Structure formats: structure tokens, C-alpha cells
Structure 1
Amino acid sequence: MSDLQTRPEAVACGGRDDVKGEPVRELLKPRIVSLGEGTEVRRLLPTLGRRMVGAWCFVDNYGPDDIARQPGMQVPPHPHMGLQTVSWLHAGEVLHRDSLGSLQTIRPRQLGLMTSGRAISHSEESPREHSRMLHGAQLWVALPDGARHTDPTWEFHAELPVATGPGFQATVLLGDVDGASSPGRAFTPIVGADIEVADGADLRLPLEPDFEYAVLTMAGHTVVDGVPLDPGSMLYLGCGRRELPIRSDVGGSLMLLGGEPFEERLVMWWNFVGRTSEEITQARADWMDSDRFGLVHGYDGDRTPAPAIPNLPLKPRGRTR
């Protein structure tokens, strides 16, 4: 997934100074962003007031969109460094290509996990023959310093473990939920799960008190710790929770995102996560003028040019403003 804004802002994030050490209920307001041809997304992270949740540093939610007579998602080749991308669908298909030569169609409840390491490029598109509806989320995970210069990799997991309990079923994307562990490789203590909440459910989901959490509502209507949530909304929950009250009269689906607060301070600009302004500037130059990020073969179109670097230095300043 790419940030295709022509004038992206630098986002400074990381560090524990502004992490809420106790439970909170902070509703995050999305920004509507155009993503390639014919796709609008709700950008929920980063926002003006909240930069990260654990190592999760970017969350786009899109659909459900009727693309029966449209090309659907068309995101040209673009670069990444210093992060992992997580592709997650509730409806439709996304065809992933990357500079490693990977070619994979991702379908609902299948995990596409790309670790950029020092450099990779990829494209994402709805296949020519695609389902009528497209609905999903694209997320990034920041890599810690010890892993951000590794070789790039691509993982695809068609089947994932499921944790079940009274009133819920949780598919585990990353980390562990109630004893069910994802096969996806993680580099920090983290969790990502897609939770189906049954009609009339009134449950308490077990959590790790040292993690900070947020929930993204994908479908239906749920009440999370007393806060009513509609589809496309995201609630930041802070730390210090051992369980999360969730209820729903009509059923719903939400994504649980969490992890240990990310200690390192970061600079995130366009599709790069680094530590200094110089790193980001060099990455942009390399995408435009060298083969550092490799080539994506088979995409019918040009690759994405990099926006201009801001005139001001890109400085890491912490998790929130």
C-alpha cells in the first residue's frame, strides 16, 4: 500500500513519552484520501493527535465499494523501507507484485505480509476479473532498528489460527490472541486480529496490560468499553487493560491492533520509515535515480514518482502533538 499524496507531510513518531499508561477512550477521526484510480480510503493512522499504536504506524480502511463496472484498486509500483505492510480483506481480491518476483492474489481472511527491510517495491491492483465488492484494510508496522536493514521478504498465509470464545471468533494476523499464534513473522511484541462479534454478544476479550491497543470497526455495530462504534471508526484504548468489554445487539466485525509501545523515535515520510532526515532524503533519491528498490515486472503502467521533499528538516518529535 502506498501513500499517494502529492504533498505528504513528514510524521514524527515513536518514543514512550506520550503513551497513555492507563485505559482511555479516544475516538480517532479519519481523513479521506484518494488512492490510485477509483479508490478512496479512510486514513486512521497516523492522525494529528495519534501517531502509533504499538508498532502499528499506518492504517487505511476502504469499502465496502461496488467495483463491478470499475477497475477497482490500481496502485502502481512504489517503494518501501523500514516497515512491514499487512494486506487484509473482507471482500474482493488484491493482486500483489513485488521486486522479489512475488505474484500473489490475496483473498478475504488471507494474510499478505511484506517486510521491506532496507528496500523493496511493489504494486497492488484488483485483478481484471474481480468480485463486485472490495472491502479491507492496509496497515504498516514499523521495524525496530535491529531489523530495518534486513533483506526484504514476502509471506503469504492462506490459513490463519482462530481463537474462539463465547460470542466471538478472532482470526490472528500477527502475534497471539488467547493462545492462538499467527505464523506471520513479527519483530516486536505485537498483536493484530480480526474479531467477529456474534449477534447479542456481551463479552470480555483478554488483553496484555503492557500493550497499548486500538480497535478498527470493519462492519456492523459494536459497543467497545461503552463507546458505540460504526463501520470505519477507530478507538484508541491506551494501556493497562487486562480485558476489553465488547457487546453488540446486531453483530459486527472489528480489528484489534496493539503491542508494546514503540520506544524508538521515527521519521515517516511518504512510503519510508527512517530515523533521520538524511535517510529519507537518500531513499527518495535512490527511488528516482538508482536500482536500490528493484523492479516490479508485469504491472501495466508506470511506477509512482516520488513527491518533492519538504524544505524543512524532518525531525522525530514523539508519538503525539
Structure 2
Amino acid sequence: MSNLERRPAELVAECEAANGAGIVLLQPREVPLGGPRAMPVHRTLPQRSKSTIGGWCFLDHYGPDDVSVTGGMRVPPHPHTGLQTVSWLFQGEIEHRDSVGSHAMVRPGELNLMTAGHGISHSEDSTPETTVLHGAQLWLALPDASREQAPFFERTVPSPVSIGDGVVARVFIGELAGASARATVFSPLVGAQLDLDAGASVDLDIQTGFEHGILLDLGDIAVEGVEVPHRHLAYVPPGRSRLRLSSVGGARILLLGGEPLGEQIVMWWNFIGRSHDEIVASREQWQHEVIEGADTAGRFGAVADYPGRPLPAPTMPTVRLKPRQ
């Protein structure tokens, strides 16, 4: 998914202070996803005081969205650098096309993972059959040693696994509770959907060196006894070996985690780099090669058979972009 903001913010919403359990609740902010009617998404990463959780650096949660009202998802070809896009749906269907020749449908319970590396372009449109769209779009910042690699796309289908009485996990990135994902990642990470029945609880064994985030999609969830509001992201700092989750009425959550990235990144529009000048160069290449049509076989390539024009990049801000960690 593209960040369609015409004036992308360098720094965004505040987070709440940590409570007695050490849990920090990150508040979402609503962002329109472009288009004439603008499908709203709710963004919990990045935050002003918390830019990343492990390599996870971007999280948009959306839906249930009535596409007859908002028009659904319409994201023309746009570029990415230095990251992986993670598409995870609960309801609906999205058509993905990219400049390495991939053409795939994003469906509920199926991971679509696109590694941008040195540079890629792609499009995402909800299909005509989709009436309700509901899911999450996430980005993973690639570590410096891997961010210039050739782009590629992969799709995996994680199996549901019981990890406790009334608790089912679908692990789509990394490992959790004995279940492993096949997806290719470049730093120590975990990503999973957890479904809890009414009255269910689970004590998860987690990596002590990981920081974690728990996003509430449906129902109610308490993390170490701390209630998480709808669409909020509960941040759990490193140091724990076990994490208790419980629900009164049932819940569906996303659990994300990883070793702290340990690198400063510059993140603007759909690019991740390491300096202001690098972002400027990426933007200029996109504008020159693709928008002006100078070299559609260049760094970002072309998305074949897309019925529309690619997205031009926003104007760069008048101040230099600052690294964040």
C-alpha cells in the first residue's frame, strides 16, 4: 500500500505514558487513503516517540469498510525502496501487480509479502467482487546490509494452530508458540494473527530480546491486565519472556515483534533510506524515469497492464528530513 498523503508528515501522533505493567498504548490517527471518496485507514506506526517495533515501521488498520460508500482501495502504481510490504486481510480481496511481473490476489488468511530492496513499483486495487474491505497493511524496514538487494514477491498461507484453550494463531512472519512461517525476512521478527474465544487467556512464551506490539482488531483484549482500546497498539518493551493475553468476550488481534532495529532510518512518502539526500535522489528517479516516462525499465520498472497512470511523488518538504530510530 502507498502512503497517499500529499504532504507526508515526518513525525506523527503522540503515544500515552507507560502504565504500571510497562505497557504503552499507541493511539491511532485517521488518514484518508486517497480517491474521490477516500477510504479511511487508522495508522499506529510510526509515532512521534516510537517509530519502529523491531523492523515493523508502518501499520495501517482499515475496515470493515463498505466499498459502496468509500470506493474501496484504489492505489495506482507507486514506488518503494528499502522495505518490505506485508499485506494481511480479514475480509475482501485486493489485486496486486508489481514491476517484477507479479500478479496476485490478496485474500484473508494469506500473506502477500513484497520485498522492495533497491526499488520496485506496484499497484493495489480492491476487486469488483469485494463489498467489504477489512485488513492491515504493514511495512518492514530492511536492515542496511539487505536494503539494496533485488526486489521480489512471495505468497504464503499459514495454517491455523491451537496455542491454548480457545486460542488459535496464524503465524505469518517468524516463529511463535512452536509455529513457524515460511516468509523471507531479513531481521529477527514475528508477526501473527491470534483469535481468542470468549473467556480465553494465554501465557505466550516470547523472545526476551524482542519488543512487541499488539493491535486490537475486534472484540476486547487485555495485555498483562491492561485493557487495549479498539485499533490501539499496545507496545511491550524488551525484557519479558512471557506475555499474558486475555479476553472477556473474544478477540482478534495482530501480534508484531522483533529485535530493536538499532539503525536510524529516514522514512518519507513510500521510501525508506538513511539520509535526506538519498530520499531526494529516489524521488527524482521516480519522477524522471516513470512519471516523465524517461526510462520505465530503470530502477522502479513498470507495472504491466495497469489501467491508469502511476502516482507522482509529493513535493519534498522545505526542511531537511531527520533520521529516526
The two structures have a TM-score, normalised by structure 2, of: 0.91
1:180 has 2:179 as partner: yes
Q: Among residues 287, 293, 296, which one is paired with 2:303 in the alignment?
A: 296
Q: Gaps spanning 5+ residues in structure 1: where?
A: 13-19
CA shift digits 1:192-248 (9 cap, x unpaired): 010001111122111111100110111111111112123311111111111111111
Q: Name the % identity.
A: 46
Q: CA separation of 1:188/1:163 partners in 2, compared to 1, >3 Å: closer, same or farther?
A: farther
Q: Among residues 20, 29, 32, which one is paired with 2:30 in the alignment?
A: 32
Q: Secondary structure at the match of 2:280?
A: helix
* Partner amino acid, structure 2, of 1:149: E
Match of 1:88 in 2: 88
Q: Secondary structure at the match of 1:175?
A: strand
Structure 1 residue 285: deviation in Å?
A: 0.3
Please list, as runs of the form range in 1=range in 2, the aligned pairs for 1:237-276 lying within 5 A after superposition: 237-276=236-275
User: 2: distance between equivalents of 1:81 and 1:202?
Assistant: 39
Tell whether the 8 Å contact from 1:30 to 1:47 is kept in structure 2 after alignment. Answer: no
Structure 1 residue 309: deviation in Å?
A: 1.1
1:122 has 2:129 as partner: no
Match of 1:164 in 2: 163
Match of 1:15 in 2: none
* Partner amino acid, structure 2, of 1:33: V
Q: CA separation of 1:188/1:161 partners in 2, compared to 1, >3 Å: closer, same or farther?
A: farther
How many residues in Structure 1 have an aligned counterpart in Structure 2? 309
Q: CA separation of 1:200/1:71 partners in 2, compared to 1, >3 Å: closer, same or farther?
A: same
Structure 1 residue 68: deviation in Å?
A: 4.4
Tell whether the 8 Å contact from 1:56 to 1:142 is kept in structure 2 after alignment. Answer: yes
Match of 1:100 in 2: 100
Match of 2:294 in 1: none
CA shift digits 1:139-160 (9 cap, x unpaired): 0000011110000000011344
Bigger Cα displacement from structure 2, 172-181 vs 155-164: 155-164
Structure 1 residue 49: deviation in Å?
A: 2.0
Bigger Cα displacement from structure 2, 69-78 vs 35-44: 69-78
Q: Secondary structure at the match of 1:117?
A: coil
Match of 2:316 in 1: 309
Match of 1:4 in 2: 4
Q: Gaps spanning 5+ residues in structure 2: where?
A: 13-17, 290-297
Tell whether the 8 Å contact from 2:84 to 2:139 is kept in structure 1 after alignment. Answer: yes
Q: Secondary structure at the match of 2:287?
A: helix
Tell whether the 8 Å contact from 2:209 to 2:238 is kept in structure 1 after alignment. Answer: yes
Match of 1:208 in 2: 207
Bigger Cα displacement from structure 2, 262-271 vs 307-316: 307-316
User: 2: distance between equivalents of 1:245 and 1:216?
Assistant: 14
Tell whether the 8 Å contact from 2:117 to 2:149 is kept in structure 1 after alignment. Answer: yes
Match of 2:224 in 1: 225
User: 2: distance between equivalents of 1:175 and 1:213?
Assistant: 13
Tell whether the 8 Å contact from 1:11 to 1:268 is kept in structure 2 after alignment. Answer: no
Bigger Cα displacement from structure 2, 63-72 vs 306-315: 63-72
Please list, as runs of the form range in 1=range in 2, the aligned pairs for 1:137-156 lying within 5 A after superposition: 137-156=136-155
User: 2: distance between equivalents of 1:98 and 1:240?
Assistant: 39
Q: Secondary structure at the match of 2:23?
A: strand
* Partner amino acid, structure 2, of 1:72: G
User: 2: distance between equivalents of 1:196 and 1:274?
Assistant: 35
User: 2: distance between equivalents of 1:163 and 1:188?
Assistant: 26
Q: Secondary structure at the match of 1:307?
A: coil
Structure 1 residue 161: deviation in Å?
A: 5.9
User: 1: distance between equivalents of 2:83 and 2:90?
Assistant: 23
Q: CA separation of 1:257/1:105 partners in 2, compared to 1, >3 Å: closer, same or farther?
A: same
Tell whether the 8 Å contact from 1:163 to 1:171 is kept in structure 2 after alignment. Answer: no
Structure 1 residue 137: deviation in Å?
A: 0.2
The two structures have a TM-score, normalised by structure 1, of: 0.92
Tell whether the 8 Å contact from 2:39 to 2:71 is kept in structure 1 after alignment. Answer: no
Q: CA separation of 1:272/1:2 partners in 2, compared to 1, >3 Å: closer, same or farther?
A: same
User: 1: distance between equivalents of 2:281 and 2:234?
Assistant: 35
Bigger Cα displacement from structure 2, 211-220 vs 64-73: 64-73
Structure 1 residue 113: deviation in Å?
A: 0.1
User: 2: distance between equivalents of 1:10 and 1:199?
Assistant: 40
Structure 1 residue 179: deviation in Å?
A: 1.6
User: 2: distance between equivalents of 1:274 and 1:133?
Assistant: 35
Q: Secondary structure at the match of 2:285?
A: helix
